[in-house]
Amino acid sequence: MAFGDAQTAATILYGSEPATILLKDTVVAGDILGQSDGWNRALATTGSVIQGRCIAAEPGGTGDKILAYFGRVIMTGRFTGGTDDAPLYVAEGSDDGQFTETAPSDSGDANKKVGLVLDAVTIMAFPNRDVDSVVA
């Protein structure tokens, strides 16, 4: 079974380094967010890369202030088919704010590791841990 991120509200089991952020996008708890003229859902796609920086701790819309985690986050409730110990990346295409086990590979894509699969339905995100990176 392949990894899936339903992008429904996640159940956050643990979150560290909380801070309040101002949204420029609509998000659900568990979305990976980045900074691009405001806080938006992250995306790995060439030409519109938004590197993952934090995890939304709660839902919100444009103009809302929400709690986000900049450190480690353990969450479940929106993932299926995860491969134990597989690295996670920000998703591409139209999957803003989602995670994937597939490393983005097109030139210019963001390919920063932002987490790890703990089991089939649970992940640990650490979006601010590694330096930004893009495929050469």
Average of per-residue pLDDT across 49-66: 96
Average of per-residue pLDDT across 19-35: 96
- For residue 131, is it within any domain? no
- For residue 52, is it within any domain? yes
Q: For 81, what's the count of Cα atoms within 13 Å in the CB-facing half-sphere?
A: 10
- For residue 134, is it within any domain? no
Q: How far is CA 15 from CA 46, 52, 58, 77, in A?
A: 29, 16, 12, 15
- For residue 132, is it within any domain? no
Q: Largest Cα–Cα distance of the chain, in whole Å?
A: 38
- For residue 135, is it within any domain? no
- For residue 130, is it within any domain? no
Q: Which domain holds residue 69?
A: 4-125
> Partners of 67 in the beta sheet?
20
Instruction: Strands of 23-83 (E only): list them.
Output: 32-35, 39-41, 54-56, 65-69, 73-76, 79-80
> Partners of 76 in the beta sheet?
11, 122
- For residue 75, is it within any domain? yes
Collapsed DSSP state (helix, strand, coil) of residue 20: strand
- For residue 42, is it within any domain? yes
| pTM confidence score | 0.92
> Partners of 121 in the beta sheet?
none
Tens digits of per-residue pLDDT, 105-131? Answer: 888 888 889 999 999 999 999 988 666
Cα angle 124, 13, 25; round to 5: 75
Q: What is the pLDDT of residue 136?
A: 58
| Band (93; pLDDT cuts 50, 70, 90) | confident
CB neighbours of residue 36 within 10 Å: 17
CB neighbours of residue 27 within 10 Å: 29
Q: How many domains does the chain contain in total?
A: 1
